[in-house]
Amino acid sequence: MSLACLAPVAAAQAPAQPVAKTLNLYTTREPGLIQPLLDRFTRETGIQVNTVFLRDGLLERVKAEGARSPADLLMTADSGQLIDLVLGGVTQGVKSKPLESAIPPHLRGRTGHWFALSLRDRVVYAERSLKLSGLRYEDLAKPEWKGRICVRSGQHPYNISLVAAMIAHQGEAKTEAWLRGVKANLARKATGGDRDVARDILAGICDIGLANAYYAGRMKSESPGSEQRRWGDAIQVVRPVFAGGGTHVNISGASVARHAPNRANAVRLLEFLVSDDAQRVYAQANYESPVKKGVAVDPIVAGFGPLKTDPLPLGDIVKHRARASVLVDRVGFDQ
């Protein structure tokens, strides 16, 4: 009998290979923010998560490792970074009913290469006495706000994402005019961070400013009398919308790595992260908003009012990032 005839029999009698009880997570998110979720996942599944934190250079790292990369799941704190991984060819598609039922279509890739896990809405911090119902992002360029707005650098990814969304809604010419109007309304140079917007509102330097909602949640949850609690208590959070759209959100999200050696475990972690319990932890621990409908947010965030997310697909917004950066420089926003 030939060896060729024996091969199938030998294969059939070979013992099944044990499924690895581990996975390797490469993440640009601070590990401390997601560690409670990873610990819970390990307790429930027995799968150990090995975390590699990369502040910068995630795409370059995975590309350099090539087919031998140990990465199973790639997690980022920005939609642009996430879609860059897809465009860089280091992800693979996933078909999963739990993911597709939990995550709205505009918050995941059409071919399953990326999935949003939590939402970070770009909002307005405002002095508490102001009445700002019905506020639109477009309103920030109106002359009534001259000398009254604070914001961090226009080139920061949070603001580039917002400007890219404005281009998607209004076109490049109107967005440039809007940027010039917002720049003319600045109370100080575009600099610092989102928390500094609240600080400067308390100091009377400005009346309103652009920032992420979850920073307000963190400040308002600090110990009474602490510096950042005073900043948080000095502001109200208003969720603007685009004309004809909703509130702009950025995301934390993840993709399964193209050469994932533990693919099934990576998918299992993704599905865990959109479960009701995990989405609740996201909401309570980080003051972010869940991607899954029906999951309660932290009471502080609930006080900001309902979140009507912009329905434009994030993929359609991200493609305008390069032009957004050009416009920010063209109008001298940070000068």
Q: Which of 226, 230, 229, 188 is nearest to 209 (CA)?
A: 188
Q: Quick check: is 335 in a domain?
A: no
Q: Is residue 313 classed as helix, strand or coil in its secondary structure?
A: coil
Same domain, 217 and 262: no
Same domain, 197 and 165: yes
- Can you tell me the distance from the alpha carbon of 131 to that of 129, in angstroms, rounded to the nearest whole number? 7
Residue type, 77: A
Same domain, 26 and 91: yes
Q: Is residue 330 classed as helix, strand or coil in its secondary structure?
A: helix
Max CA pair span of the chain: 91
Q: Quick check: is 3 in a domain?
A: no
Same domain, 115 and 262: yes
Q: Quick check: is 5 in a domain?
A: no
User: Cα torsion at 292, 294, 297, 301 (round to 10°)?
Assistant: 100
Same domain, 179 and 325: yes
**Domain that includes residue 148, residue range:** 121-247+310-330
Same domain, 209 and 100: no
Q: Strands 249-257 and 115-127: what pairing?
A: antiparallel
Q: Quick check: is 64 in a domain?
A: yes
Q: Quick check: is 304 in a domain?
A: no
Q: Quick check: is 215 in a domain?
A: yes
Q: What is the pLDDT of residue 285?
A: 79
Q: Quick check: is 13 in a domain?
A: no
Residue 108 burial (CB < 10 Å; 0-12/13-18/19+)? Answer: buried
Beta bridge partners of 76: 253
Q: Find tokens 């989405």 and name the residue.
A: 279
Q: Quick check: is 11 in a domain?
A: no
Q: What is the pLDDT of residue 252?
A: 92
Q: Residue 308 corresponds to which tokens in the numbers above? A: 């009507």
Residue 206 burial (CB < 10 Å; 0-12/13-18/19+)? Answer: buried
Residue 102: alpha-carbon gap to chain centroid: 16
Structural Rg of the chain based on CA atoms? 22
Q: Which of 120, 69, 139 is nearest to 248 (CA)?
A: 120
Q: Strands 149-150 and 208-212: what pairing?
A: parallel
Same domain, 34 and 139: no
- Can you tell me the distance from the alpha carbon of 181 to that of 144, in angstroms, rounded to the nearest whole number? 11
Same domain, 132 and 224: yes
CATH number of the CATH domain containing 264:
3.40.190.10
Same domain, 231 and 262: no
Q: What is the pLDDT of residue 283?
A: 85
Same domain, 61 and 200: no
- Can you tell me the distance from the alpha carbon of 334 to that of 155, in angstroms, rounded to the nearest whole number? 8
Number of domains in the chain: 2
The low-confidence residues of the chain, meaning pLDDT below 50, are 1-17
For 164-204, what is each residue's pLDDT tens digit?
999 999 999 999 999 999 999 999 999 999 999 999 999 99
Q: What is the pLDDT of residue 10?
A: 34
Q: Taking CA 34 as the corner, what is the angle to CA 108 and CA 56, rounded to the nearest 5 degrees? A: 75
- Separation of first and last alpha carbons in the chain: 81
- Can you tell me the distance from the alpha carbon of 61 to that of 57, in angstroms, rounded to the nearest whole number? 6
Q: What is the pLDDT of residue 182?
A: 98
Same domain, 97 and 175: no
Residue 19 burial (CB < 10 Å; 0-12/13-18/19+)? Answer: exposed
Q: What is the pLDDT of residue 19?
A: 57
Beta bridge partners of 49: 23
Q: Find tokens 């934390």 and name the residue.
A: 252
Same domain, 25 and 113: yes
Instruction: Mention every residue, 6+ apart, whose C-beta is less than 8 A from residue 12.
Output: none
Q: What is the pLDDT of residue 1?
A: 35
Under 8 Å between Cβ of 263 and 94: no
